[in-house]
């Protein structure tokens, strides 16, 4: 199985990051904007990040141009028809993903590898709607995709060994360090990381420490690059809540249920960095603890 062209469905943070990583390693990429609207903003966002790398002397302008030149942006899903590998990175909603897999099967060759970048949904459930199931797997990248080395290669119920091997090799070709994981909710990283962030929130609710002291403790005491609240804000609180919900649905243990403070912040639209406020208020430089969280959340 030779991979030359990669299709990316979804041009949000993860889709764009994955497109960048693939193009940087010389693959041709078709990037499909999955939600209504044009793709120009997505392309400008990718170029903005690359321009910063050029300005800081991390990338040559010619390499940036070559990288961008290898990515074709489109809103037409059918443009991925000739891709060898497709990685979807659309909304974390199982029904929406299943519908996409059904459409991709109708568009693509029977041997095109169909992968999902889901964080906590069942890859096997997506595979189940396909006729050619052995080519369905998960390729789970981490944010920021151009920086984080890990890709979890998800072995779903009927994924063939040959497909897993091809994906493992592909990840190495794009300079990532793949780990093969069986299809269980949250895989390895999110199954460990989600309860960790939820426990930090419960610790805050109990008054064990402040947002800043808990973050500081984990950065300087456990050498984490970000504390649990910084990380939750970085991932997006809606995403963290959805991951908690999906793991809770699977294991039905209250330890995995989203804590009250998280639910309230998501209800209020305070989703972390992307909305300017979450556990921290990013309007302040440097960011300060969200003042609304200084009293108990009801
Ligand atoms: N795109 C490309 N490069 C980026 C980047 C981005 N979005 N963000 C940072 N970088 C690069 C910078 O250019 C810089 O590169 P150089 O060293 O070559 O100059 C390098 O990363 C370090 O960046 P900064 O100096 O700006 O900032 P930092 O040292 O504070 O690092 C960080 C930023 C890499 C995000 C770091 O804080 C970190 O590793 N945080 C933890 C991230 C993490 O845990 N991610 C996983 C989240 S879970 C997930 O993604 C799974 C899921 O399913 C939800």
Mean pLDDT of all residues belonging to the chain: 96
β-strand 150-155 against 136-141: which pairing, if any? antiparallel
Residue in 10, 50, 144, 188 to alter for ligand 1 test, most ligand atoms within 8 A of Cβ: 144
Residue 295 has pLDDT above 90, yes or no: no
The answer to whether 228 touches 164, Cβ cutoff 8 Å, is: no
Model pLDDT for residues 180-199, shown as the tens digit of each residue: 999 999 999 999 999 999 99
Percent of all residues in the chain with a pLDDT value above 90, rounded to a whole number: 97
What pLDDT band is residue 228 in, cutting at 50, 70 and 90? very high
What SS3 state is found at 70?
coil
Token representation of residue 260: 């009250």
CA of 256 to the centre of ligand 1 (A): 26
Q: Determine whether 119 is an active site residue.
A: yes
Q: Nearest C-alpha to atom 10 of ligand 1 is from which residue? A: 147
Is the Cβ atom of 49 under 6 angstroms away from ligand 1?
yes
Is the Cβ atom of 23 under 6 angstroms away from ligand 1?
no
CA of 50 to the centre of ligand 1 (A): 14
Report which ligand 1 atom has the smallest distance to the Cα of 52: 13
Out of 89, 119, 122, 290, the active site residue is 119
Q: Nearest C-alpha to atom 15 of ligand 1 is from which residue? A: 147
Q: How many CB atoms lie within 10 A of CB 217?
A: 17
Q: Determine whether 152 is an active site residue.
A: yes
Count H helices, E strands: the chain?
11, 10
257 alpha carbon, distance to own chain's centre: 21
Out of 89, 117, 122, 190, the active site residue is 190
Q: Looking at the DSSP assignment, which residues form a beta bridge with residue 43?
A: none
Is the Cβ atom of 147 under 6 angstroms away from ligand 1?
yes
Residue 298 has pLDDT above 80, yes or no: no
Output the pTM of the full model: 0.96
β-strand 113-116 against 136-141: which pairing, if any? parallel
pLDDT average, residue stretch 142-154: 97
DSSP 269: T
Q: What confidence score (pLDDT) does residue 82 get?
A: 96
Alpha helical stretches, state H, 112-160: 123-127
Model pLDDT for residues 248-288, shown as the tens digit of each residue: 999 999 999 999 999 999 999 999 999 999 999 999 999 99
DSSP 38: -
- Residue 252's Cβ-count burial label (10 Å; 0-12, 13-18, 19+) is exposed
Model pLDDT for residues 75-103, shown as the tens digit of each residue: 999 999 999 999 999 999 999 999 999 99
Segment (H or E) for 281: strand 280-281
pLDDT average, residue stretch 25-40: 96
Which residues neighbour 293 within 8 Å (Cβ) at sequence distance 6 or greater? 204, 211, 261, 279
Is the Cβ atom of 126 under 6 angstroms away from ligand 1?
no
């Amino acid at each position: 199985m030779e991979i030359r062209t990669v299709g990316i469905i979804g041009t949000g943070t993860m889709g764009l990051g994955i497109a960048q990583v693939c193009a940087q390693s010389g693959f041709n990429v078709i990037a499909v904007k999955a939600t209504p609207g044009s793709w120009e903003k997505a392309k400008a966002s990718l170029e903005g990040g690359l321009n910063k790398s050029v300005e800081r002397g991390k990338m040559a302008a010619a390499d940036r141009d070559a990288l961008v030149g290898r990515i074709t942006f489109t809103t037409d899903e059918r443009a991925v028809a000739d891709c060898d590998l497709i990685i979807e990175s659309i909304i974390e909603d199982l029904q929406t993903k299943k519908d996409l897999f059904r459409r991709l099967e109708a568009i693509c060759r029977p041997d095109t590898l169909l992968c999902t970048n889901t964080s906590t949904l069942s890859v096997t459930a997506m595979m189940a709607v396909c006729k050619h199931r052995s080519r369905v797997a998960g390729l789970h990248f981490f944010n920021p995709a151009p920086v984080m080395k890990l890709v979890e290669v998800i072995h779903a119920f009927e994924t063939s060994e040959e497909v897993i091997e091809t994906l493992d090799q592909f990840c190495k070709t794009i300079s990532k360090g793949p780990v093969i994981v069986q299809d269980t909710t949250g895989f390895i990283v999110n199954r460990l990381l989600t309860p960790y962030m939820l426990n930090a929130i419960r610790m805050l609710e109990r008054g064990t420490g402040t947002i800043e002291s808990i973050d500081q403790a984990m950065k300087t005491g456990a050498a984490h690059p970000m504390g649990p609240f910084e990380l939750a804000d970085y991932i997006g609180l809606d995403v963290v809540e959805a991951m908690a919900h999906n793991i809770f649905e699977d294991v039905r243990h209250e330890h995995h249920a989203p804590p009250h403070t998280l639910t309230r912040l998501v209800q209020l639209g305070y989703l972390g960095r992307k909305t300017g406020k979450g556990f921290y208020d990013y309007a302040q430089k440097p960011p300060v603890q969200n003042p609304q969280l200084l009293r108990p959340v009801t």
